[in-house]
Every structure is written in structure tokens, then in C-alpha cells.
Structure 1
Amino acid sequence: MPLKPFLIQDFELKGRLITLLGLGRFGGGVAAVRYLAAQGAQITVIDGKDEASLTDSLQQLESLSQVKYQLGSETHELPKTDLLVVNPAIPPCHPLLKNAEELQIPVTSEMELFWQLNPARVIGVTGSNGKSTTTAMIHAIMQASGARCWLGGNIGISLLPVVDQIQPDDWVILELSSFQLEALNRIQASPQIGVVTNFSPNHLDWHQTVEHYRESKQTIFRWQTQNDFSILNADEGELQNWSAAGKVVRYGAAPDTQLDLLIKGEAFELTKQNYTILPHLNVPGMHNRMNAAAAIAACTCASVEVAAIQVGLKNFEGLPHRLQFVGEFLERRFYNDSLATTPESAICALDAFKDCPIILLAGGSDKKVDLTDFATQILKHSKATALMGETGPVLSELMYNLKERSDVNSSTVISPQQTSFEAAFDWAIRQSGPGDVILLSPGCASYGWFSSFVERGERFVKLFFELNARMRDSTE
């Protein structure tokens, strides 16, 4: 029996008992609680993390008297409730979801609530890699065009608190994770313009199978109409077999040169004669040119003029934690790519600096994906690699095994397993020389050592500035 979807038009929230499962630390849970409280609901928040771990989120809710909490322990039975609101990180196998299914209690999420209340047109972006940057590029272009637009979703911004300010003629640009799309499938929702940057196995600790991960991602097109747009990366073989109800638009590298990107689709065809000239980008790497091509395709479908596309991309400075230039120290350049939580993202980062000696910080928590290609590219591109976290030993074994093969010639220095992030950072400094790039691009999630990729990236930046401070102190 499937989970019962929640349709907001059929449900009066005032006075209802509502349970929120997973408050989290990224704002979506807080936004959902505040919205539900404003509607007059009585709310119980359940989270396996303790109060100390959720301090920032709890402080934002301390003025709400109608909220009760069950924190720091696991429970297998729901309290008496009329509705269950689920954080995207809660896996489908969670016992309270099974409980809701048995009791036929309707289930929703922050994204489903927003979607049903949002009056505006939506550009949605998903993919295993590149979705955050592509989403931000689209938003930058839409801003340059003068359109009234809103940025949110998995990029870390909940739009639920401002949904009453959004107008029908606005554009909402959402980064959509597989978790959020799985939820949107319950209410049969897809964006008017959907973008898929690429596809590779990811989050298998949550989805359990590649098939379930794929089905969740395909929600971005599943409920479109024939008047909507389905934008796909033509260079991704997997995506060529995806079905779409909307007008299919494909973007990719032109056959004659990687620097001349083409976009072709049933709705329009952009060729060398009328294609927007891709401006110089402030973010490095061929993968970012592909992200820009996806953004151009989406904005062209939204009838944005060429001049605005050029201005928006030219002014785009990149995202924090995504190939973010932190600074230079003793002729070494430091880049924070903590948002690279998949092997494919980290491989793109290595490729972006392929002409430079790279000292890499890699590894983290295990999402049960194959790291062989990542290990191969580390050996190919890095001068030295500091191995961290749960996947550190896995990467180490893979790299040493690959080094023993006759077809692999690598002088990469492989660190012992690092016991802390600070130790990994210091080891990387010791291996570096003038002209090197010191790159945090872990290729794995942050959990275990950090609460999020944001905390991990901020720690890297903090250590860099402490390094500079130590140098100043030693010369005074």
C-alpha cells in the first residue's frame, strides 16, 4: 500500500495534530514548522538527533508555544496525528513511514507544501552533479533579464516562508534532489521547465537500488504536459532513453569542438549562426561550460533574450563551496570544493586543474557508490592526496591496487588514513610546493566528521586564514 498523499485543498490545517519527522539543520524543517504553526496547527517534532545537535534550528522555533519535541531517541510509533511531514533526508524504509502507511495517515514534505501553494512558473534542475551551479546560473540570468524570480530548493533555501509574496508571473528556480522529487511524485508534480544535467548512481544508501534512484529523478519530467520543456544533456548516454511528455531540448558539446556548444530541440534550434556566444566564465572547467549550456537552454525556453543570458553568465561568480577560490599562500592556491559530494563532481574538479600540480583532500562518509573511477583519476591528476573519513581506507586500497597494474603509471603520494580534518589539511600543506593547487574536493558526503558539506567547507576556509595568521605572527 503506497503512502497516502496530502492535498492541501482538501485539508483544514487549523487545530490539526501534525507530526514533523526530521527537523534537520538546513532550514526546510524549520520553515515547515513555522508555516504549519501560522496556520494554527499543533505540532510534534521528532528527530533522532539530540537538542545540542539541533541548537540553531531550535532557536528559530523557541517562540512557538504550540510545538512539542521528541529528540535524541528513535521511536517506531507515531503519536496521535492527522498528518506526517517528512524531511527529505528520511529514507523510505524509516519505521515511522511504515507506520503512517499502515494507518493511512497522509504524508507530505516542505517541498510538497510549497509546490501546492506556489502560483508561479517553475524551472526545476536535477542531476547527479552540477545541479546547484546550473540552478544558480539560471537564477543569475533571470535576474539579469529583469524578471521577478525566486531561488530555492535543495540549494539550501526554503521558499515556503515567502510563498505568499510570489506572484503568478514570477519565475521560481528550484534545485531538486532525488529525495525531493520522490516526494513530488506523490502529488504528481513536475516543473514547466525541467533540466537534467547528468545521471550516475548516487545516494544508494537512501534509495537502495539504482532503479529507485532513477525513478525518483525521472519525476522531473513524469507529470509534464506537452506544452512544457524537458531539457537533457545530449552527451549523457543514460539520458537518451528517458521519456518526457514535454518538448524535448538537448544540449551538449558540438562534434567539431568542445568549446562551441550547441542546443537543439523540437522547440527551437540554436546553431553557430544564432547561438548565444558563451562569455568568459568566472568558474573554471569544461563541466561549468556544460552547466552554462544547460542554463542557456532553460532560459531560452523561458523566452529570455540573448543579451540577458550573456550578462547573467558573465557576472556569475560561482557558489560557495563549489570550486571557490579561497586565497593564495606562499604561491599555493587554495580551492574549496566541499560541495563535490560525488566522485563525478570531484573528477570534474581534478580535470579543471589538470594543468597544475594538485594536492587533494578526498574522502568522507560512504554512500555505497563505486569509487574506482575516482581513485583512477586521483592517481592520474594529483601530486599527493590526503585520505579522510569512512571512505579513506577504501580509496587507499583502490589506489594501491591500481598502482600495481602495469598500465597505471603514477607518482601520486598517498597519505596514511588521516585522523582529523586538521591533520589532513596539515599533511596537504607539507606535501605542497610553490605553484601547487591545494584542493578540497572530497567526492564523498561529509557526515561523520561534519554535519554538512557547508561546515566542512567553512572549516577548510578557516584553516586557510589561520595559516595566514600564523605566518603574519611569525614575521612580526
Structure 2
Amino acid sequence: MRRADMMVGRLIMDDLQNKHVTVAGLGHFGGGIAVSRWLAQAGAKVLVTDQAPAEKLADSIRQLHGLPIEFRLGEHRRDDFTQADLVVTSPAIPPTNEFLVAARGAGVPITTEIRLFIERCPAKIIGVTGTKGKSTTTKLLSLMLAGRNKVWTGGNIGGSLLFDLPQIDASDLVVLELSSYMLEHLRSMRWSPHVAVVNMISVDHIEWHGSEAAYIDAKRNIVRFQSADDIAVLSDQNEESADFENYTKARIVKYGIGDRQPFALTIPGRHNQLNAQAAFAAASELGIPWDDAQAAIKDFSGLPHRLQLVHTTADDVRYFNDSIATIPEAAVAALESFPARRVIQIVGGYDKHLDMSALCTALAQRAKAAMTIGALGPALAESIRQSFESSCAIHECGELSNAIAMARKIASPGDIVLLSTGCASYDQFTNFQVRGEQFASLAKGSR
């Protein structure tokens, strides 16, 4: 065993009092904030470093006001990594990052907020991953389980559970949404959850992982280290998800739509029916009958930015925010959630160099109109035009505000205005949340 791995184990068991801990990546989404606060309250000597300048992190810094934390912002320094007792990295920083490589070379252990939690959690953990559908499935599963168990929900959804550890009992259940980034960083821990739920797997985050194969292999860590006493819940309608069966010792449970009893859902889309079936496949293994599961989720109205109904006009034009759809497969699934020729869909954004042909074909065949925005907008517009027998109107709008203005002009009663771009947001927005919030704000200006 490497010295760094041994050191992680020892530091985890020891008191963190007076340990020099470098937190790499403060960010805006809470993980860096929570773990910094938790470490400081545990008595560690915490240094937070982030390459973003202080003015861009002002809100995050304010949340740590009054704690004995040192900040190194606008840069990383090698010594902060090589001379620490422990480095806690944001999962968004790849293991190949030069500063993490330097820390490993110096024998400094590297961990993450989610690993710190997992190593201390006394309860059984259910993990959920996939390219899309993770958050919705995690929420649906938590609702199904909550009728009979004390359930804690965290990971890539909600806040950190580190502060809840004193209240978590061995008889409770913990449901964690696990991203590919998290799972890659957890690889060295050789850990997989007791129950692993795998949604649809396609291609994403190639710029982080380096290749499609590396991305999918990171996802496999959710089942890779399971034992024969564990459970892997896999889709029978997605080849990549089903293939995880070859990488685990766990008992396999399959889910899909087929001949299974459908759930009555308020959230639209076949993909959400699949999310519910995935959640129930896991819940049923933990003793939840179908009727109880249905009752638990009947009023679930969805999560923000996930086919979220944000506005309905007086003449019944509905605006749906699906800003989370940053890959083409997700945008196609959103389009197919509604009747053909009633959807005015906003597409385009940052170019992640994914194959957009299926989205363009679907728009040509099913959409009333496509509003293109962002860097990839012109190429998408041209591709839709080239689609065979396209009857989809195309409007090159450039900006989201222009797309909403045009949608108002052409929408008829009963139409759907759908933000489901199939692209990342980084060319025009800080993140998909900001894009979705702007869409919702603009939509609410429609009468």
C-alpha cells in the first residue's frame, strides 16, 4: 500500500485537531464551503485555495466569515499541496491536475468531501449515477423510502451530510447522487455502495475524463467494488448501463418500462417514467411495495431545471425549463415528452464536440420551431435545414432573450416553449443554473 493511502486511513481515524489541511476549490455550489467549515470546526488548520479571484467568490467567502481559515485565491501554490497533512479536493478538479499530482508525489493523502462522509457513515448507502436522470431518480427513491425509514439524501444533490453524521443511525438509509467526477476520485478507496442504481449512460464530460471510455469506466466504480451481498440496479433499455453487469459481483436487478406497471407522475416524459422505475427497482429490494412507492411520489412536481414548468400564459402557452439538458440525448428526451409539432425548442450553446445529429433530426421531425443560441447555434441551424423533409421553422436567435421574444411571437395556444439546449452553457452563462434562472425570469414576462 502506498504511503499516501496509509496516511488517508490514519488521518481519517485520528482527530483532525491541528492538522494542516488544504481545501482545493472553494467554488459556488456549497461542497467546498461545507467541508471547509466542517474541517475548521473539527480543529484543523484549514487553507482554502482557488484559482478564481476573491471578487468572484465573495458570497462563498462570506459564508466562512469568522472561522479560522486562511485563503489563497487567484492562484494555487505548489507548497500548499506538498506540505499539507491532507488535501481535500473538489471533485471537479481531475486527478491529473498538476497540483494534485505534486501532492501525491510528496506522499500527501488526497480525499474529497464525499469520501470523508462515506468513511464515517454508519448507515447503508444507496448510490445513484448515470449521465442524465441522477437527481430525479435520487429524489424519487428518497421519497419512496421515507415512508418506512429515516432517509438522508446528499452527494451531488442537496447539501453536505458531514454535519449530519452525529444524527445518522446505523438503521437509517443514505441516498447519494454520485457524479462521474466523484466516482473517479473514489476509485482509490475501492468502495461501492450497498445498492447501486445506474440510469442511462451516454457520453459526457470527455474534456475532464479524456475519452468516452474513461468516462464510462469512472461510472463503473459505482458497482466495481460491490460484493455478492450487494445489489446493482441496471437498465434493460440502455446497453451501456446493462453492461455494468460484467463489472460487479453484486446481485443484478433490471428495470425498464416494457410490461412493468407505469407510475402516475406529474412530471412529463418517458425518461421520467424510467427514472421512477429505476427508483422503485431499488426501493422494492429494500422492502417498499409498489402502492406505497406510488403514493410517495404522486405529488412530486420535479426538480429545478429538469423539465420544470416555470410559467403558463393566459392562452395556455407553457414554458418548461430543462436547462440541465447539456447533452443531445437529454434534449431529445425532453422534446419527445410532448406532442409533435407543439414544441418551440431553444437549442445550442457551448460546443462540447458531441454528435448532435440525432437532436437535429428529432427537431426536424417533431418540433414546431427551433430557436438556436450560443456558439453552436449556427451549426445546429444548418444541420436542421439539411435534415430530410424538415418542416421545423428555424430561427437563429443568438441570445436567450431573443429566443424568448421570438417564441412569444410564434407560439399558439397549447404550445410548449422548451429550454432544452443539448449543450453546456459556458459560452454565455456561468452554469446551467444561471441559464435556467434567466429563462424562467424571461418566461414570466410573457402574458
Q: Output the TM-score relative to the length of structure 1.
A: 0.88
Distance 1:92 1:394 in 2: 34
Runs of at least 5 residues in structure 1 that lack an aligned partner in the other structure: 255-259, 262-276, 469-476
The answer to whether residue 354 in structure 2 is matched with residue 369 in structure 1 is yes
Say if 1:202 and 1:213, in contact at 8 Å, map to a contact too.
Answer: yes
Q: Is the 8 A contact 2:143 2:296 kept in 1?
A: yes
Residue 33 of structure 2 corresponds to: 30
2:447 corresponds to 1:463: no
Q: Which residue, out of 116, 119, 124, partners 2:127?
A: 124
Distance 2:241 2:414 in 1: 39
Note the 1:22-61 alignment, pairs <5 A: 22-61=25-64
Distance, in Å, in 2 between the alignment partners of 1:249 and 1:219 is 17
Query: Equivalent of 1:251, from 249, 255, 278?
Result: 255
- Kindly indicate whether the alpha-carbon contact (under 8 Å) linking 1:130 and 1:197 is maintained by their aligned counterparts in 2: yes
Q: State the AA in 1 paired with 2:237.
A: D
| Within-5 A mapping of 1:68-467 | 68-73=70-75, 75=77, 78-79=80-81, 80-143=83-146, 145-242=147-244, 243=246, 244-254=248-258, 260-261=259-260, 277-329=261-313, 330-400=315-385, 402-403=386-387, 408-416=388-396, 418=398, 420-467=399-446
Paired amino acid for 2:251: K
CA deviations on 1:369-423 (whole Å, 9 max, x unpaired) are 22222222222222222222233234234334x33xxxx11122222251x3222
Q: Is the contact between residue 235 and residue 256 of structure 2 (CA under 8 Å) also seen in structure 1?
A: yes
* Cα 1:12/1:313, change in 2 over 3 Å: same
d(CA) in 2 for partners of 1:46 and 1:388?
A: 35
Counterpart contact for 1:16–1:42, Cα < 8 Å:
yes
Q: CA RMSD in A?
A: 2.0
Paired position in structure 2 for 1:268: none
Retained in 1: the 8 A contact 2:318–2:417?
yes
Mapped contact 2:348–2:372 kept (Cα < 8 A): yes
How far 1:467 sits from its partner (Å)? 3.1
Task: Give the Å deviation of 1:74.
Answer: 5.2
Indicate the percent of aligned positions where both proteins have the same amino acid: 38
For residue 233 of structure 2, give the secondary structure of its aligned residue in structure 1: strand
Q: Which amino acid aligns with 2:411?
A: S
Q: 1:10 to 1:331 in 2, by over 3 A?
A: closer
User: Does the aligned pair in 1 maintain the 2:384–2:390 contact within 8 Å?
Assistant: no
Note the C-alpha offset of 1:357.
1.4
Q: Distance in 1 between matches of 2:382 and 2:206?
A: 21
Letter in 1 for 2:71: Y
Alpha-carbon distance in 2 for matches of 1:112, 1:394: 41
What is the CA distance between 1:331 and its match in structure 2? 2.9
Task: Report the CA distance between 1:3 and its aligned residue.
Answer: 10
8 Å CA contact 2:50–2:74 kept in 1: the answer is: yes
The answer to whether the 8 A contact 1:24-1:54 is kept is yes
Change (3 A) 1:321 1:34: same
For residue 287 of structure 1, report the CA deviation from its aligned partner. Answer: 1.2
Letter in 1 for 2:376: T
Q: Deviations over 1:186-207 (max 9, x none)?
A: 2111111101112111110111
Distance 1:371 1:149, change over 3 A: same
Q: Give the aligned residue type for 1:61.
A: L
Q: Judging changes above 3 Å, is the alpha-carbon distance between structure 1 residues 424 and 70 closer, same or farther for their aligned structure 2 residues?
A: farther
Q: How far apart, CA to CA, are the structure 1 residues paired with 2:207 and 2:326?
A: 14
Separation (CA, whole Å) in 1 of partners of 2:89 and 2:415:
45
Q: Measure, in 1, the Cα distance between the counterparts of 2:311 and 2:2.
A: 51
Q: Secondary structure at the match of 2:66?
A: coil
- Opposite residue 370 of structure 2, the aligned amino acid is T
Report the CA distance between 1:170 and its aligned residue: 0.6
Query: Which range moves more in the overlay, 158-167 or 365-374?
Result: 365-374
Note if contact 2:373-2:396 (Cα within 8 Å) is conserved in structure 1. Answer: no
Tell me, yes or no, if the aligned pair for 1:322 and 1:337 is still in contact at 8 Å. yes
For 1:392 and 1:77, locate their aligned partners in 2 and report how far apart those are by CA, in whole Å.
44
1:384 and 1:3 map into 2 onto residues whose CA distance is: 59
Q: Secondary structure at the match of 1:425?
A: helix
Q: Distance in 2 between matches of 1:156 and 1:19?
A: 24
Aligned-partner Cα distance in 1 for 2:396–2:47: 46
1:75 Cα offset (Å): 4.7
Aligned residue pairs total 440
Quick check: 2:223–2:232 contact (8 Å CA) kept in 1? yes
Q: After TM superposition, give the deviation of residue 122 of structure 1 in Å.
A: 1.0
- Report the AA paired with residue 339 of structure 1: I
Mapped to 2, the partners of 1:466 and 1:174 lie a distance apart of: 37
SS of aligned partner of 1:183: helix
Per the TM alignment, residue 185 of structure 1 is displaced from its structure 2 partner at its CA by 1.4
